[in-house]
Amino acid sequence: MGKTAIIGASNTKFGNLVKKNKETGELTDLVSIYELINEAGKAALADAGVEGKDVDGVWVGSCAPGLFANQEHIAAMAAEIDPVGLRFKPFSRVEDACASGSVALYQAIYALESGRARVALVLGVEKMNLLDTKGVTHALATCSHWPTEGLAGMTFPALFAEYAKGYAKHYGISEDKLRRQLASVAALGYKNGLDNPLAHFGKGGPSDKLQLVTAEAILGLPDEKNPMIAEPLRLHDCSLISDGAAAVVLMRLDDAKASGKKYSEIAGFAQVGERMAITVRPNMYELTAGKLAVQKAFAEAKITTGDIDLAELHDCFTINQILSTEALGFSADGQAGDDYAKGRFGREDRPSVNLSGGLKAKGHPVGATGVSMHALIHKQLTGVPIGAAPAKAPSVGVVFNVGGSGVTNCVTVLKAGK
């Protein structure tokens, strides 16, 4: 079993890429799911310097394109990536809710490591904004345990609110303190997002105009600007509903080295599944399965927490960034919220977290997210920083991508190629 490497990556602009007919209210595409796939795939292949004929398979992470955009069997659209060269390749869609992108990438790694593929294209895509908020909420709720959660009206903000309450209770954190911790996480995302031109909420966007780059600014918002969604989570604790795509090109590490191209090594990864219904899980104050994934991925990569320069964490809700930060060992259990409130994990810190802006500011086209995290860590490890170049080039980056309420936990360690 040889290692693998990323040798090319791309990320489309994330955003609300629809237009609304003012008279009928009808939502139509500004950029369609088909165009997103084409744009991301074409750019990643170009970045890798790989032609379509050299691609042995395409894996597409997408969460619910049938519900969001009336298009299942979405992987087959890879045949249309311009210039058409992917006809007759195997196209496989992979879905594990908001971890679809990482799980797709892991299937490609298996294929490369098995020897059946030498070059793999991995795409993540989601087109969410053709539905109204009610439709989006329903589609996402199908990623919860429907009989006991979605059907019962318990949507994702409510599920992560259980984590927020569980975390505060377990560690004895007061309501005010928790509020500040969560706001600090959101502010860091918004601040970082200003440096990412691809971000849904970037420079000149809503978070910039409201200057929501400090916890104080968020805490100072009137209720109507930051309404309660699911106690204790408010609007600014929730990630964005975005359209977008990302892609990476993978090959075996020895091939990547031989190519002379810039690459980042997939040094270790792990996917660990948790039972889905939160009613059967006692530990609603930590990502139990996520911690296991960290152990496994770190062991394979032969790293410890202290080796990590940067990380992209799954802040679908601010509380989950806190839980992921602890799962990775960046903070002791129960301390991450406080660490964020103290201003840790910023651009100048090591590790820096979510320099992309995270799901909070970069946006969260759910099936694209895992691939986007890998794409942007790869970019930063190969000399393409987000915003100003860091004083010291990063050499180890980590992705922590979560599907469902801590259900599918994907951790990847990437190392800058030598």
Piece of the chain touching a second copy by CB under 8 A; list 106-114, 190-198, 200-208, 383-391: 106-114
Q: Which of 1, 134, 176, 224 binds a second copy (CB under 8 A)?
A: 1
**How far apart are CB 58 and a second copy at their closest, in Å?**
8
Sole binder of a second copy in the list 3, 93, 127, 179 (CB under 8 A) = 93
Minimum Å gap between C-beta 104 and a second copy is 9
DSSP secondary structure letters along 148-203: TTTTTT--HHHHHHHHHHHHHHHHT--HHHHHHHHHHHHHHHHHHHTT-TT-SS-T
Query: Would you state the torsion angle of the CA atoms of residues 298, 301, 304, 305, taken in this order, to the nearest 10 degrees?
Result: -70
Active site residue 73: no
Q: What amino acid occupies position 364? A: H
Could you say whether residue 217 binds a second copy (CB under 8 A)?
A: no
SS3 49: coil
Contact residue for a second copy among 78, 136, 159, 287 (CB under 8 A): 78
Tokens of 265: 């090594």
Torsion, Cα 72 78 82 85, to 10 degrees, reads -140
Which one is catalytic: 98, 238, 316, 410? Answer: 98
Told to check if 80 binds a second copy by CB under 8 A, we report yes
**Catalytic annotation, pick one of 200, 364, 374, 378:** 364
Q: Which stretch binds a second copy (CB under 8 A): 58-66, 180-188, 247-255, 325-333?
A: 58-66
| Minimum CB distance to a second copy smaller for 40 or for 376 | 40
Structural element, H or E, at residue 6: strand 4-11
Q: Judge contact between 379 and 362, C-beta under 8 A.
A: no
Question: For the window 108-147, what string marks contact with a second copy as x by the rule CB under 8 A?
Answer: -xxxxxxxx----------------------x--xxx-xx
User: Strand, helix or coil at 43?
Assistant: helix
Q: In the range 267-296, which residues lie near a second copy by CB under 8 A?
A: 270-276, 289, 292
334 touches a second copy (CB under 8 A): no
Comparing CB distances to a second copy, the nearer of 34 and 171 is 34
Backbone angles phi, psi at 291, to 5 degrees: -65, -40
Task: Judge whether 364 counts as a catalytic residue.
Answer: yes
**Options 30, 46, 49, 70; binder of a second copy; rule CB under 8 A:** 70
Cα–Cα distance for residue pair 286/171, rounded to 1 Å: 11
Total residues binding a second copy (CB under 8 A): 65
401 contact partners, CB below 8 Å, separation of at least 6: 98, 99, 101, 102, 312, 314, 369, 370, 373, 410, 411, 412
State both tokens at 380.
């930063």
Distance CA 139, CA 48 (A): 34
Contact footprint for a second copy (CB under 8 A): 1, 32, 34, 58, 63-67, 69-73, 75-80, 84, 86-97, 103, 106-107, 109-116, 139, 142-144, 146-147, 150-151, 270-276, 289, 292, 403-404, 407-408
Catalytic residue positions, numbered: 98, 364
